[in-house]
Amino acid sequence: MSKPDKVNVAVVQMTCSGNKEENVAKAVAKIAEAARQGANIVCLQELFPGLYFCQTEDHIQFELAEPIPGPTSERIQAAAKEHGVVVVASLFEKRAEGLYHNTAAVFDADGAFLGIYRKMHIPDDPHYYEKFYFTPGDIGFRTFDTKFGRLGVCICWDQWFPEAARLTALTGAQILVYPTAIGWLHPEKEEYGPAQVSAWETMMRSHAIANGVFVAAPNRVGIEDNIEFWGHSFVVDPTGTLLEVASHDQEEILVVECNLAQIDFSRTHWPFLRDRRIDAYAGLTKRFIDGDVTS
Protein backbone atom coordinates (compact mmCIF):
# COMPACT_ATOMS: atom_id res chain seq x y z
CA MET A 1 0.00 0.00 0.00
CA SER A 2 1.45 3.35 -1.04
CA LYS A 3 1.93 6.06 1.53
CA PRO A 4 0.34 9.50 1.25
CA ASP A 5 2.39 12.40 -0.06
CA LYS A 6 0.62 14.88 2.20
CA VAL A 7 0.83 14.24 5.94
CA ASN A 8 -0.09 16.41 8.89
CA VAL A 9 2.69 16.79 11.45
CA ALA A 10 1.84 18.03 14.94
CA VAL A 11 4.35 19.52 17.36
CA VAL A 12 3.18 19.71 20.96
CA GLN A 13 4.47 22.61 23.06
CA MET A 14 3.47 22.35 26.70
CA THR A 15 4.39 23.30 30.25
CA CYS A 16 5.41 20.65 32.75
CA SER A 17 4.98 20.34 36.50
CA GLY A 18 6.66 18.25 39.16
CA ASN A 19 3.80 15.76 38.99
CA LYS A 20 4.68 12.96 36.57
CA GLU A 21 1.16 11.57 36.34
CA GLU A 22 -0.18 15.02 35.53
CA ASN A 23 2.38 15.52 32.76
CA VAL A 24 1.85 12.13 31.16
CA ALA A 25 -1.93 12.57 31.29
CA LYS A 26 -1.54 15.99 29.66
CA ALA A 27 0.63 14.53 26.90
CA VAL A 28 -1.93 11.78 26.24
CA ALA A 29 -4.66 14.42 26.05
CA LYS A 30 -2.54 16.51 23.65
CA ILE A 31 -2.08 13.47 21.40
CA ALA A 32 -5.87 13.05 21.32
CA GLU A 33 -6.37 16.75 20.60
CA ALA A 34 -3.79 16.73 17.80
CA ALA A 35 -5.50 13.70 16.26
CA ARG A 36 -8.84 15.51 16.37
CA GLN A 37 -7.22 18.38 14.50
CA GLY A 38 -6.15 15.99 11.76
CA ALA A 39 -2.60 15.11 12.79
CA ASN A 40 -1.00 11.97 11.38
CA ILE A 41 2.29 12.34 13.26
CA VAL A 42 2.56 13.79 16.79
CA CYS A 43 5.90 14.94 18.19
CA LEU A 44 6.26 15.52 21.92
CA GLN A 45 8.94 17.72 23.51
CA GLU A 46 12.10 16.50 25.23
CA LEU A 47 11.63 14.70 28.57
CA PHE A 48 7.93 15.62 28.74
CA PRO A 49 7.03 13.46 31.80
CA GLY A 50 8.54 15.92 34.25
CA LEU A 51 10.40 19.11 34.98
CA TYR A 52 13.77 19.51 33.30
CA PHE A 53 15.76 17.95 36.13
CA CYS A 54 19.23 18.44 34.61
CA GLN A 55 19.53 21.95 36.09
CA THR A 56 21.32 20.37 39.08
CA GLU A 57 23.39 17.26 39.69
CA ASP A 58 21.32 15.21 42.09
CA HIS A 59 21.47 11.41 42.35
CA ILE A 60 17.85 11.19 43.48
CA GLN A 61 16.75 12.21 39.98
CA PHE A 62 17.79 8.81 38.63
CA GLU A 63 14.66 7.49 40.31
CA LEU A 64 12.64 9.22 37.58
CA ALA A 65 13.99 6.92 34.87
CA GLU A 66 12.09 3.96 33.41
CA PRO A 67 12.91 1.07 31.11
CA ILE A 68 11.57 1.14 27.57
CA PRO A 69 9.11 -0.53 27.23
CA GLY A 70 7.85 0.72 30.57
CA PRO A 71 4.79 2.34 32.18
CA THR A 72 5.05 5.72 30.44
CA SER A 73 6.02 4.43 27.00
CA GLU A 74 3.16 1.93 27.17
CA ARG A 75 0.65 4.72 27.84
CA ILE A 76 1.95 6.69 24.87
CA GLN A 77 1.87 3.54 22.75
CA ALA A 78 -1.77 2.98 23.69
CA ALA A 79 -2.61 6.59 22.76
CA ALA A 80 -0.92 6.17 19.36
CA LYS A 81 -3.00 3.07 18.67
CA GLU A 82 -6.26 4.55 19.97
CA HIS A 83 -6.00 7.67 17.82
CA GLY A 84 -4.29 6.17 14.78
CA VAL A 85 -1.29 8.50 14.87
CA VAL A 86 2.46 8.07 14.82
CA VAL A 87 4.02 9.37 18.06
CA VAL A 88 7.58 10.39 18.92
CA ALA A 89 8.08 10.47 22.71
CA SER A 90 11.24 11.57 24.56
CA LEU A 91 11.89 9.70 27.82
CA PHE A 92 14.48 9.25 30.57
CA GLU A 93 15.51 5.64 29.95
CA LYS A 94 16.95 3.26 32.52
CA ARG A 95 18.79 0.76 30.38
CA ALA A 96 20.52 -1.06 33.23
CA GLU A 97 21.74 -0.37 36.75
CA GLY A 98 23.91 2.74 36.46
CA LEU A 99 23.26 3.13 32.72
CA TYR A 100 20.80 5.85 31.68
CA HIS A 101 19.96 7.53 28.38
CA ASN A 102 17.94 10.42 26.98
CA THR A 103 15.85 8.37 24.56
CA ALA A 104 13.08 8.87 22.04
CA ALA A 105 10.62 6.04 21.44
CA VAL A 106 8.69 5.87 18.18
CA PHE A 107 5.26 4.27 17.81
CA ASP A 108 3.42 3.65 14.57
CA ALA A 109 -0.21 4.55 13.95
CA ASP A 110 -1.34 1.02 14.83
CA GLY A 111 0.55 1.19 18.13
CA ALA A 112 3.51 -0.89 16.94
CA PHE A 113 6.74 -0.09 18.77
CA LEU A 114 9.17 0.80 15.98
CA GLY A 115 12.22 1.35 18.14
CA ILE A 116 14.29 3.98 19.94
CA TYR A 117 16.89 6.63 19.30
CA ARG A 118 19.35 7.47 22.09
CA LYS A 119 20.65 11.04 22.20
CA MET A 120 24.18 11.10 20.82
CA HIS A 121 25.43 14.58 21.78
CA ILE A 122 25.23 15.31 25.51
CA PRO A 123 25.69 18.90 26.75
CA ASP A 124 27.33 20.16 29.92
CA ASP A 125 26.41 23.82 30.25
CA PRO A 126 25.20 25.89 33.21
CA HIS A 127 21.87 24.33 34.29
CA TYR A 128 22.11 21.79 31.45
CA TYR A 129 24.19 19.22 33.31
CA GLU A 130 23.18 16.31 31.14
CA LYS A 131 26.54 14.51 31.21
CA PHE A 132 25.84 13.71 34.86
CA TYR A 133 22.70 11.78 33.89
CA PHE A 134 22.95 10.52 30.33
CA THR A 135 25.29 8.07 28.64
CA PRO A 136 25.78 9.04 24.97
CA GLY A 137 23.78 6.96 22.52
CA ASP A 138 25.46 3.92 21.02
CA ILE A 139 22.98 2.80 18.35
CA GLY A 140 23.76 5.50 15.80
CA PHE A 141 21.51 7.75 13.78
CA ARG A 142 18.26 6.10 12.80
CA THR A 143 15.18 6.42 10.64
CA PHE A 144 11.81 4.80 11.37
CA ASP A 145 9.50 3.67 8.58
CA THR A 146 5.99 4.66 9.69
CA LYS A 147 2.56 4.57 8.09
CA PHE A 148 2.94 8.26 7.26
CA GLY A 149 6.54 8.44 6.07
CA ARG A 150 10.10 7.91 7.21
CA LEU A 151 10.98 9.77 10.40
CA GLY A 152 14.50 10.52 11.52
CA VAL A 153 14.78 11.41 15.20
CA CYS A 154 17.49 13.39 16.99
CA ILE A 155 17.19 15.11 20.36
CA CYS A 156 17.87 18.73 21.36
CA TRP A 157 21.68 19.19 21.59
CA ASP A 158 22.00 16.98 18.49
CA GLN A 159 20.44 19.85 16.56
CA TRP A 160 23.65 21.90 16.59
CA PHE A 161 25.59 19.27 14.65
CA PRO A 162 25.18 19.15 10.86
CA GLU A 163 26.77 15.71 10.86
CA ALA A 164 23.86 14.30 12.88
CA ALA A 165 21.26 15.75 10.52
CA ARG A 166 23.18 14.56 7.46
CA LEU A 167 23.69 11.00 8.69
CA THR A 168 20.06 10.74 9.72
CA ALA A 169 18.91 12.06 6.35
CA LEU A 170 21.17 9.53 4.60
CA THR A 171 19.23 6.71 6.26
CA GLY A 172 16.19 7.82 4.27
CA ALA A 173 14.49 10.31 6.57
CA GLN A 174 11.80 12.50 5.04
CA ILE A 175 11.10 14.37 8.28
CA LEU A 176 13.69 15.13 10.96
CA VAL A 177 12.13 15.42 14.41
CA TYR A 178 13.99 17.14 17.25
CA PRO A 179 12.30 16.86 20.68
CA THR A 180 13.77 19.87 22.47
CA ALA A 181 14.18 21.56 25.85
CA ILE A 182 15.90 24.85 25.14
CA GLY A 183 15.46 28.17 26.87
CA TRP A 184 16.93 31.31 28.32
CA LEU A 185 18.90 31.54 31.53
CA HIS A 186 17.43 34.48 33.44
CA PRO A 187 20.62 36.65 33.51
CA GLU A 188 21.22 36.17 29.78
CA LYS A 189 17.80 36.70 28.25
CA GLU A 190 17.85 40.48 27.90
CA GLU A 191 21.25 40.66 26.19
CA TYR A 192 21.42 37.39 24.27
CA GLY A 193 17.82 36.17 24.02
CA PRO A 194 16.93 37.16 20.45
CA ALA A 195 20.28 36.01 19.07
CA GLN A 196 19.98 32.63 20.79
CA VAL A 197 16.54 31.95 19.34
CA SER A 198 17.68 33.11 15.90
CA ALA A 199 20.74 30.86 15.98
CA TRP A 200 18.63 27.85 16.99
CA GLU A 201 16.06 28.47 14.29
CA THR A 202 18.74 29.16 11.66
CA MET A 203 20.55 25.92 12.45
CA MET A 204 17.38 23.88 12.09
CA ARG A 205 16.37 25.58 8.87
CA SER A 206 19.83 24.85 7.48
CA HIS A 207 19.36 21.14 8.19
CA ALA A 208 16.17 21.22 6.13
CA ILE A 209 17.85 23.01 3.23
CA ALA A 210 21.10 21.05 3.17
CA ASN A 211 19.34 17.69 3.32
CA GLY A 212 16.11 18.43 1.46
CA VAL A 213 13.86 17.31 4.31
CA PHE A 214 11.15 18.63 6.58
CA VAL A 215 12.15 19.49 10.15
CA ALA A 216 9.83 19.47 13.16
CA ALA A 217 10.98 20.97 16.47
CA PRO A 218 8.68 20.65 19.51
CA ASN A 219 10.10 22.68 22.41
CA ARG A 220 9.09 23.11 26.03
CA VAL A 221 7.53 26.31 27.30
CA GLY A 222 7.27 27.90 30.73
CA ILE A 223 9.61 28.86 33.58
CA GLU A 224 11.32 26.06 35.52
CA ASP A 225 13.78 27.27 38.15
CA ASN A 226 16.66 28.98 36.32
CA ILE A 227 15.41 28.41 32.78
CA GLU A 228 12.63 30.09 30.83
CA PHE A 229 11.94 27.64 28.03
CA TRP A 230 11.32 29.73 24.98
CA GLY A 231 8.77 27.63 23.10
CA HIS A 232 8.87 28.81 19.47
CA SER A 233 8.20 25.27 18.26
CA PHE A 234 8.04 25.09 14.50
CA VAL A 235 7.89 23.04 11.31
CA VAL A 236 10.05 23.93 8.31
CA ASP A 237 10.00 22.63 4.74
CA PRO A 238 12.95 21.55 2.53
CA THR A 239 13.49 25.10 1.27
CA GLY A 240 13.95 26.34 4.83
CA THR A 241 10.57 28.06 4.86
CA LEU A 242 8.93 28.23 8.27
CA LEU A 243 5.50 26.72 7.77
CA GLU A 244 4.21 27.49 11.27
CA VAL A 245 5.78 28.82 14.47
CA ALA A 246 4.42 28.73 18.02
CA SER A 247 4.58 31.52 20.59
CA HIS A 248 7.29 31.96 23.23
CA ASP A 249 5.00 31.67 26.25
CA GLN A 250 1.88 29.62 25.55
CA GLU A 251 1.00 25.96 25.30
CA GLU A 252 0.19 25.18 21.68
CA ILE A 253 -0.32 22.38 19.21
CA LEU A 254 0.72 23.16 15.66
CA VAL A 255 -0.71 20.82 13.03
CA VAL A 256 1.13 21.44 9.77
CA GLU A 257 0.59 19.86 6.35
CA CYS A 258 3.81 18.56 4.83
CA ASN A 259 3.84 17.55 1.17
CA LEU A 260 6.53 14.87 1.04
CA ALA A 261 6.60 15.11 -2.77
CA GLN A 262 8.38 18.43 -2.21
CA ILE A 263 11.49 16.51 -1.11
CA ASP A 264 12.31 15.19 -4.57
CA PHE A 265 11.54 18.56 -6.14
CA SER A 266 13.84 20.34 -3.70
CA ARG A 267 16.65 17.82 -4.07
CA THR A 268 16.58 17.93 -7.88
CA HIS A 269 16.52 21.74 -7.97
CA TRP A 270 19.04 22.15 -5.15
CA PRO A 271 21.10 18.98 -5.71
CA PHE A 272 23.22 19.15 -2.58
CA LEU A 273 23.10 15.39 -2.02
CA ARG A 274 24.14 14.75 -5.62
CA ASP A 275 27.11 17.09 -5.46
CA ARG A 276 28.57 15.87 -2.18
CA ARG A 277 32.27 14.94 -2.47
CA ILE A 278 32.14 11.81 -0.35
CA ASP A 279 35.68 10.98 -1.49
CA ALA A 280 37.00 14.13 0.20
CA TYR A 281 35.41 14.06 3.64
CA ALA A 282 37.70 11.71 5.57
CA GLY A 283 38.81 14.65 7.71
CA LEU A 284 35.38 14.75 9.34
CA THR A 285 36.35 11.75 11.44
CA LYS A 286 39.21 13.74 13.03
CA ARG A 287 38.86 15.97 16.08
CA PHE A 288 40.88 18.73 14.38
CA ILE A 289 43.20 18.95 11.37
CA ASP A 290 46.55 20.41 12.37
CA GLY A 291 49.21 21.85 10.09
CA ASP A 292 49.32 23.31 6.60
CA VAL A 293 46.67 21.74 4.39
CA THR A 294 47.60 23.74 1.29
CA SER A 295 50.53 21.59 0.22
pLDDT, tens digit, 9 for 90 and up, residues 142-178? 999 999 999 999 999 999 999 999 999 999 999 999 9
Backbone angles phi, psi at 265, to 5 degrees: -60, -45
Note whether 234 and 10 are within 8 A (CB). no
Q: What is the mean pLDDT of residues 31-35?
A: 98
Question: Given this model, what pLDDT does residue 295 score?
Answer: 45
Q: What is the mean pLDDT of residues 119-146?
A: 98
Structural domain spans, the chain: 6-285
Q: What is the mean pLDDT of the chain?
A: 97
Question: Given this model, what pLDDT does residue 1 score?
Answer: 64
Question: Given this model, what pLDDT does residue 3 score?
Answer: 84
Backbone angles phi, psi at 256, to 5 degrees: -125, 130
DSSP secondary structure of 103-154: EEEEE-TTS-EEEEEE-----EETTEEGGGT-PPP-S---EEEETTEEEEE-
Note whether 181 and 142 are within 8 A (CB). no
Note whether 241 and 180 are within 8 A (CB). no
CATH number of 6-285: 3.60.110.10
pLDDT tens digits, residue range 196-208?
999 999 999 999 9
Tell me: pLDDT of 292 over 80. Answer: no
Tell me: pLDDT of 222 over 60. Answer: yes
Tell me: pLDDT of 94 over 50. Answer: yes
Tell me: pLDDT of 69 over 90. Answer: yes
For the annotated catalytic residues, the residue numbers are 46, 119, 156
Identify the bridge partners of residue 180 per DSSP, sorted by sequence position.
219
Q: How confident is the model at residue 2 (pLDDT cuts 50, 70, 90)?
A: confident
Question: Given this model, what pLDDT does residue 294 score?
Answer: 55
